[in-house]
Structures are given as C-alpha cells and as structure tokens.
Copies of this chain bind each other. A is one copy, B any other.
Amino acid sequence: MRHVGIVGIGQTPVGTWVDRTLSDLAVASLRSAMQDAGADSVQALYIGNMLSGQLQRQENLGALIADAAGLRGMPSVKIEAGCAAGGAALHMGVLAVAAGVYDTVAVIGVEKMAGYPVGDVLAALATAGALDEAAHGLTCAGLNALIMRRYMYEYSWRHDDFAAFSINAHRNAVTNSNAMFRRPLTLEEYRTARLIADPLTLLDSSPICDGAAAVILCSADAARHFRHKPVRITASAVATDTVALHDRSDILWPRAVYASAKAAYGQAGRSPQDIDLFELHDAFSITAALSLEASGFAEKGAGVRLAQDGAIALKGSIPICTFGGLKARGHPVGASGLYQAVEAVMQLRADAGNNQVEGARIAMIQSIAGSGSFVATHILEV
C-alpha cells in the first residue's frame, strides 16, 4: 500500500447555522483545507454525511458539492456510515490514494441537523440503529442510557463519576474558536442537568448542530507540492458489530471498537502506550469510557477512572477531546470524524495553541456509529 498523508486541514465553526446550506458549509471547509495545503486543486472528493437525504431531502452529495465548490466534473462520492460517516469517508479517501489512482484528494465531512423539529432529527439519527429497536422508541440517547445503566450496575459507578468526561471536554473547548460550547462546566451544573434518558442527562450528551471539516490527502510522492510536511496516516481500519444492541452478548464490550483499534495498532506497528492523544467519539460520556476500554487504555469497567484521575487532560497520559470533543466542540454527525482528523493534525503540527499536547507525535482518532455497530480508527504520525 502506498503511503498517504494529510497536507491540508479546514473546518467551519460548529454551531446552529440555519442560514447556511449544506453546500456552503462543505465548500467553506474544503477551501480552507486547500488554502492550508497550498493546493490549487485536487483530483477527487469523498464526502462523509449521514442525514442529508432525510433532513435536507438532498442526496447525490458527491455531484452537489463538487459543483458548489467550483470543481464541476470532478470524481466525487458520498460515503454513509451513520454517525461515523466522517471516519468512513476518511478511510475511503485513504484507499483511493493508496490505490495509486489519485495523488491528491479531499475528504469532507458535513452535516446540518439544526433548525429541524427535534423529533425529526432524533428519528433520523435512530436510522443508524436497528429498526426493531427504533420502533420501540429507542433513540440514540435511549440506547446509550441502557448501556450506561448497565455499566453503573456492573462496576458500581455513580452518575457523578462520569462528570469528569464532560468537564474535560468543556474545559478544552474554551480555547477552541471553532467549538460550539466555549464555557467551562462545573460539577454542580453536571449534577443538576436535565435528564434525557435515565441515567443520561443533557450534559452527558453531544449537541444537535451543523458543521463541516475537511482534509487534503496526498501520496508520499506528491507531498513536495504542498506547504506542510504531511502528517502520515499509518493506520486506517474499519470494523462492524451487530446493529441491534439486543443482539450483543455483552453490551459493555464494543467489539467493533476493539477490532478496529486492534487492526489499527497492527497496521501502524503501535500499541496504546505509544498514543500521545486520542480523539475519541464521546457522543455520550459512557461512549468515551467504553472507547477507552476497548481501545486498550483501561481495563473493562475502569475507563471512568482515567477521567477522574485526570489522565484524559491535556497534560495527562492519554489526552482526549483536546479541542472539546463531540460533547463541547460539537457533533455534526457525518462531520465529526473529519473534525477529529483536523484537530489531530493541529496537535501533530504543534499548532494547537492553548490546546497543545506537548510533544505529541502519534495521535489516534476514532469514529463510532450505531452504539458501536460501525467503527473507523485511524492513527496519524509525524
């Protein structure tokens, strides 16, 4: 396989942008990434998106966004993998360059969720899960509430014990100008937050929001044409699990997280000890805990302790959500995997300002869909 690197990054602020179209957001992030790379053009686009058909009533985003970007005619394909569509699109972009078909491509993640009736958005998000569970009213929050309740029961954690995940995310978002929630969170606020699905509260949950992020990928040969030394993608691994939660033998062990992380470590020749920072998929605080465990950073049931001990902080042993994560930077679902990539590149370029993880050389990013049914894990290195 040819080596593939990231030479450009772009992102729009995450928020509720009812006056900006899906195309506007995607094109803004693409232009920013091309400018960052010093690229006049690219050879193909890969678009990560989940909800455009259901919410905007717009499919065929490959053609739509190429056209809107002034790249009419360009090969351009949409990838869908639930809330992990961004990670999946990054994976497909890596394959396209690795195949030797293209030397330079852009991968864009874009999602617009704000401004629609909340019930419509939740129903659309639930299409990443199993129809028979959705039919019983199980939203994404509902499914993760079941997981969180079981986790608390099995390992004797209290709801308060998860606060450190949300507090860490909000703390890091304060100095991220692209984050949706740029304010610190107190334990008291966390404790008194509105219940969403017992035991999950609003402050365990990532927000409904809009955004787009993009990266420019290139082959090792093409790297000399760009302004930045490439951040190498040393692993790109996808795995799946049952879509229905009730089909899993252990809902506290996300097998696709384990499998994709294991495959990624194998590809990169790395182990959890080598990872300097981990942009994980904290759609809910429980998801962060399980991701840390199944990715090899904590024993089963002990992911919460990493948050409580401060290991997940910028100066900790395994920093996560270094720009706010899904919780506080925001989770425009199909875009989140690309925000993670952009933020990891900023860290590895030592260009993260107040959010810098000192000496970061190896970053892992992980995008999860459907309560763990689809997972994409990438390792990035300088």
Closest residue of chain B to A66 (Cβ to Cβ) is B240
Decide yes or no: A77 and B81 within 8 Å by CB, A57-B123, A101-B95, A127-B59 being known contacts: yes
* Chain B min CB distance to A306 (Å): 26
In the complex where A78-B80, A95-B96 touch, is A57 in contact with B374 (Cβ < 8 A)? no
Chain A residues with CB under 8 Å of chain B are: 1-2, 44, 50-51, 53-54, 56-64, 66-67, 72-82, 88, 91-92, 94-96, 98-101, 123-124, 127-131, 134, 236-243, 247, 255-256, 259, 369-370, 373-374
A57 and B134: CB pair below 8 A?
yes
**Residue with the greatest number of chain B CB neighbours at <10 A, chosen from A54, A66, A243, A255:** A243
Contact among B51, B99, B256 with A95 in the assembled complex (CB-CB below 8 Å): B99
Residues of B within 8 A of A369 (CB): 60, 63
The answer to whether B59 touches A82, judged by C-beta atoms less than 8 angstroms apart, is yes
> Is B53 within 8 A of A127, CB to CB?
yes
Q: How far is the CA of A53 from the CA of B56 in the complex (A)?
A: 12
Q: Can you name 29 A-B residue pairings with CB atoms under 8 Å?
A: A1-B99, A51-B53, A56-B131, A57-B131, A59-B82, A59-B127, A60-B80, A60-B82, A61-B80, A63-B81, A63-B241, A64-B373, A67-B240, A67-B241, A67-B247, A73-B256, A75-B237, A75-B240, A76-B240, A77-B81, A77-B88, A77-B238, A78-B79, A78-B81, A79-B80, A79-B92, A98-B100, A98-B101, A99-B99
Query: Which B residues are CB-close (under 8 A) to A99?
Result: 1-2, 94-96, 98-100
B53 & A240 in contact (Cβ 8 Å cutoff) = no
Taking a contact as CB atoms under 8 Å apart, the answer to whether B1 and A100 are in contact is yes
For A1, give the chain B residue with the smallest CB separation: B100
A214 to chain B, nearest CB (A): 17
Contact yes or no, A63 B374, CB < 8 A:
yes
Determine how close the nearest CB of chain B comes to the CB of A81; give it in whole angstroms: 5
A127→B54 CA distance, assembly (Å): 10
Q: Please list the 6 inter-chain residue pairs (A to B) with the smallest Cβ-Cβ separation, ordered nearest first.
A: A98-B99, A60-B82, A63-B373, A75-B238, A99-B99, A63-B240
| Chain B residues, Cβ within 8 Å of A236 | 101
With A60-B129, A67-B247, A99-B99 as given contacts, are A241 and B370 in contact (CB-CB < 8 Å)? no
CA distance A96 to B243 in the complex (A): 24
Q: Is A1 in contact with B127, judged by CB distance below 8 angstroms?
A: no
- Name the one of B72, B82, B92, B240 contacting A92, with C-beta atoms under 8 angstroms: B92
User: Which B residues lie within 8 Å of A81 (CB)?
Assistant: 60, 62-63, 77-78
Q: Is the CB of B127 within 8 A of A58?
A: yes
In the bound complex, residues from chain B placing their C-beta under 8 Å from that of A64 are 130, 243, 373
The reply to whether B95 and A63 contact each other, CB–CB distance below 8 Å, is: no
Which residues on B sit within 8 Å (CB–CB) of A128?
Answer: 59-60
**Docked CA distance A1–B103 (Å):** 12
CB distance from A41 to the nearest CB of B (A): 14
A79 to B60, CA, bound (A): 10
Q: For the complex, what is the distance from the CA of A78 to the CA of B78, rounded to whole Å?
A: 9
Q: Would you call B259 and A73 a contact (CB within 8 A)?
A: yes
| Contact A243:B67 (CB < 8 A) given known A59-B80, A75-B238, A79-B79 | yes
Most buried by B among A2, A78, A130: A78
Q: Check if A60 sits within 8 Å of B95, measured CB to CB.
A: no
Cα–Cα distance between A187 and B123 once the two chains are bound (Å): 48
Give every chain B residue within 8 A of A54 (Cβ-Cβ): 53-54
In addition to A53-B80, A61-B80, A67-B242, 12 A-B residue pairs with Cβ atoms within 8 Å of each other are A1-B101, A53-B127, A57-B131, A59-B80, A63-B243, A67-B243, A67-B247, A73-B259, A78-B81, A92-B92, A94-B99, A101-B236
Pair A62/B78 contact, Cβ less than 8 Å: no
